[in-house]
A and B are shown apart, each in its own frame.
Chain A
Amino acid sequence: MTRTRLLAAAGASALLFGTTALATPPADTIAVGLSADITTFEPANISSRDNANIARHIFGTLYNITGEGVVTPDLAENLEISEDGLHYVYTLREGLACHDGEALTAEDAAYTFNRAKNPDNKFTGNTPGFVFSSIGFESAEALDDRRVQINLARKNPIAFGLIAEVYIHCKDSYEKMSLDEASANPIGSGPYRLASWTRGSEVVLEKVANPNSPAQMERIVWRIIPEASTRSAELIAGNVDIITNVAPDQIDAVNASGTAMVQAVQGTRRMYVGFNLSQPFREMPGGEAIQDPMVRRALQYAVDVPAICKQLLNFECVRATGIVNPPNANQSLTPYPYDPAMAEKMLDEAGWPRGADGVRFAIRFQAGRGRYLNDVNVVQAIAQYLEDVGLKIELDVMEWGSVYVPLIRQRNVGPLFFLGTGGALWSPLYDMTDLARVESGTNYTHWSDPRWFDRWADIAATDDPAAQRKIIDEMLQVFYDDGPWLHLYFQPDFYGVSNRVNFVARPDEKVYLFSTGLK
């Protein structure tokens, strides 16, 4: 065989191998296409949902909360809470092991919490930045090999659920690693360990040998595929088994492919238009009008939310009635209907009749671009609905990360603004704590109604669930009637799922594949 023929044969083999490599993932492997890059495996620095989805397979947590909001044990099998609500003592299961081969003990759990809290480490992830600040975490200590005590500065009715978000990692290995090394070499106690990470391209996890492991597949390959149409093509071609964030306009194509179907779930993220009621915004055009609860209520009738869901999100939704996800909402409330005539009548009665030019009042409406599903089209539609009842909308859509987020975090956006905030199903209080105090960082509207804010003390004063529920319902009624949000919808999530796997999407944006296998 000549050299040329040899080269040609080698090239043909490579292409053949390549074609094989592009086929369906092996029977012991599941491949997932994600929309965003992941940046770190440092457990105390993880903050994005995609990053957390991968990390959760590597790191165990003390307890687990299912997609339906049900609490199940994970590394811990028991919890005792002190009477004053400041000390949580978790008892770990027997026989736990770290990926480095060492036994996982209460000392590792305490180390996890204290390491994340240590200011020298300059961590900014979900654990120190969200969980600890929400629950007032003070310290953790190992009481013995299996019992770890978490100490809080104040009683918090949702501390348990938030502590369940902390990734437990293993002291011996982390003490030997620099922070640089730790960010790329996770040593956890979950069912999978990191096999390889090609930054910007893919992460491969392999199952840890453990007869009690809940994991079904030997390997999980997480591929980073930012472009929605490319993700859909990879799914239809059978090269990945699951994709996140299917674009609404590609749902029909995926469903028609014969190889995959789209699972649409109503998520827990609460989408709303906020009314900024702070003094500086009161002096802006439209700012005075929205101070009046009747005007805010009138505008609820002006927007056809189900039509927005159907036409722009390709999803049949039920309009939100407030700040809390449906299973935990005040069940006596019904969503505001689309009734522009009612909106106009109420605006007239509130003292904002149409002028000679047909305009009641002008107002600025701000939004970020590219963060939420079809967000620009959604805000344009809302602006049009509001113009239809006589408002003159100055729509200001800006770049999400560098412009809009700083404005939001400084509570300096509006007078109308479009936003979505993450919620949960395991407690109504989790959703409501966005507005725990008038000065809370997440009270972007500066709402200050004492019928809401004064009731937090009442909730804290009782441990009776029925009494708490009654107070919650009363607060949600106030929020519904006179609240600072124009209620929209809970953002739907679209997952493309290959016909060969038995994945069931959760409503909380978590992609956990422990029980996912082949059909």
Chain B
Amino acid sequence: MWTYIARRLLQSVVVIIGVTFISFIALQIGGDPTYLFVSERATEEEIEMVRRALGFDRPLHVQYLSFLGNLLQGDFGMSLSYRQPAIDIVLGALPATIELTLLSILVSVGLAVPFGVFAALYRGTALDGGIMTVAMFGQSVPNFWQGIMMILFLGLYLKWFPISGHVPFLLPLLQGDLAAAFGNLPMALYYLAMPAVAVGTYSLARNARLVRSSMLEVLGQDYVRTARSKGLTEYTVIVHHALRNAWLPVVTMIGLEFGFLIGGVVVIETVFSYPGIGRLVFNAINQRDIPVVQAAVVLLSMVFICLNLIVDLIYARIDPRVKL
């Protein structure tokens, strides 16, 4: 297993270099970013001075190799907009997104599994039809629209939840301020509730369908029939025998989803004024803040790679047929 982990980590270096290269080129396609950092009344000399100051006067390959060289020393450069180390800006926004992602996964998986299991157990009944109809609705509704509707109904009309904003939990926790972190926890969850549901609805619907089809497949297997014929309780058959095997595709999906959500919640972060990494990167791309984009890309790639690795390890653990 250790050889497998080492090989995967080595592969990840190539992946990270690849994504930094692609993002670097993508940001350069629009033309010289210098113009975003000079006044419209700047003279050619002033534009040239700013271009030099920002390092955009160097050939592209030199800029990129310089970035890679600094990256090896853990230096992502200074944000062009914030004028602070780019990695600090990104790390400052990451905990908020992780909070949102974790809670939305929790909402998604916590509800998808019972929904999927019940739909499978009561296949063809009104309960199954109802759950699958709701699941289809969840997959069809754009999450930004759902978010705005939740704001208007649950936030503005019923006043049950805050309309927007964020109370940090992970950031003070990571900074070692346990009192602040746990003091904030109830409010953090309160503020997270609506965005987490808006983010999690799509994957909840998809996972419920996945669990249902997986359960249906498993429930028809010989070993389930054998378990029942041994006189085991229905609970034991479902939870300990059927569900354990039905889990496998769901675990894979959750791992992938976690990675996608961390970088892909920009719309919901914008709708709920949530200060996470998606919004940060979106703004950085618009402002051509290349160091921030690159720092985020590297960080998110590493998170994605690690998550995939963890999923593979879990997969091997819960399915003895899989050898690493």
Residue ranges of A at the interface with B (Cβ–Cβ < 8 Å): 10-11, 14-15, 17-19, 21-22, 37, 39-40, 42, 45, 47, 119, 122, 124, 126, 129-130, 133-134, 179-180, 183-184, 198-202, 223-227, 229-230, 233-234, 236-237, 239, 399-403, 405-410, 421, 433-434, 440-442
Contact = CB atoms under 8 A, between A and B. Distances in A.
Given A225-B164, A233-B151, A409-B40, A402 B273 contact: no
A236 B163 CA distance: 11
Given A119-B49, A237-B155, A401 B287 contact: yes
Most chain A C-beta atoms within 10 Å of own C-beta, residue among B44, B155, B163 = B163
A18 B186 contact: yes
B264 interface: no
Given A14-B187, A199-B93, A230-B273, A183 B83 contact: yes
B76 to A, nearest CB: 14
Contacts of A22: 159, 162-163
A410 B35 contact: yes
A245 to B, nearest CB: 14
Given A199-B93, A227-B273, A441-B42, A405 B35 contact: yes
B285 interface: yes
Given A133-B46, A234-B164, A237-B156, A227 B39 contact: no
B80 to A, nearest CB: 8
Contacts of A119: 49, 53
Q: How large is the interface on B (under 10, 10 to 19, 20 to 34, 35 or more residues)?
A: 35 or more
B165 interface: yes
Contacts of A129: 37-39, 42, 46, 50
A289 B53 CA distance: 42
Q: Which 8 A-B pairs have the closest CB atoms?
A: A14-B186, A200-B275, A402-B30, A130-B39, A409-B35, A129-B39, A406-B31, A122-B53
Given A119-B49, A402-B285, A230 B151 contact: yes
Interface in B232-289: 270-273, 275-276, 279-280, 283, 285-288
Contacts of A17: 187
B155 to A, nearest CB: 6
Interface of B: 27, 30-33, 35-44, 46-47, 49-50, 53-54, 81-85, 89, 92-93, 148, 151-152, 155-156, 159, 162-166, 168, 186-187, 190-191, 270-273, 275-276, 279-280, 283, 285-288
A382 to B, nearest CB: 22
Nearest to B184: A14
B286 A442 contact: no
Contacts of B155: 233, 237
Contacts of A224: 273, 275
A237 B164 CA distance: 11
Given A199-B89, A403-B31, 14 more contacts: A183-B82, A183-B84, A200-B279, A201-B166, A202-B165, A223-B164, A227-B164, A227-B271, A229-B152, A230-B272, A234-B164, A402-B30, A421-B40, A433-B41
B50 to A, nearest CB: 6
A405 B36 CA distance: 7
A130 B41 contact: yes
Contacts of B47: 409, 441
B280 A200 contact: yes
Given A14-B186, A130-B39, A183-B83, A201 B151 contact: no
A183 B82 CA distance: 7
26 contacts: A14-B186, A17-B187, A37-B279, A40-B83, A129-B50, A179-B83, A180-B84, A183-B84, A198-B275, A199-B92, A200-B275, A200-B276, A201-B275, A223-B164, A224-B273, A224-B275, A226-B270, A226-B279, A227-B272, A234-B163, A236-B156, A237-B155, A239-B162, A401-B36, A402-B33, A441-B40
Most chain B C-beta atoms within 10 Å of own C-beta, residue among A11, A401, A434 = A401
Contacts of A401: 30, 36, 286-288
Nearest to A202: B165
Given A133-B39, A405-B36, A442-B40, A233 B187 contact: no
A110 B201 CA distance: 58
Given A129-B38, A129-B42, A230-B273, A200 B288 contact: no
A233 B152 contact: yes
A230 B166 contact: no
A183 B28 CA distance: 27
A416 B30 CA distance: 20
A180 B85 contact: yes
B158 to A, nearest CB: 11
B72 to A, nearest CB: 22
A15 B271 contact: no
A124 B280 contact: no
Contacts of B46: 129, 133
A406 B32 contact: yes
A255 B85 CA distance: 44
Contact of A19 (B148, B159, B280): B159
Contacts of A400: 286
Given A402-B30, A405-B36, A406-B32, A441 B82 contact: no
A39 B93 CA distance: 13
A403 B32 CA distance: 9
A352 to B, nearest CB: 32
A124 B38 contact: yes
B148 A229 contact: yes
Contacts of B43: 133, 441
B39 A18 contact: no
Contacts of B276: 200
Nearest to A15: B190
A430 to B, nearest CB: 11
Contacts of A409: 35, 38, 40, 47
A240 to B, nearest CB: 10
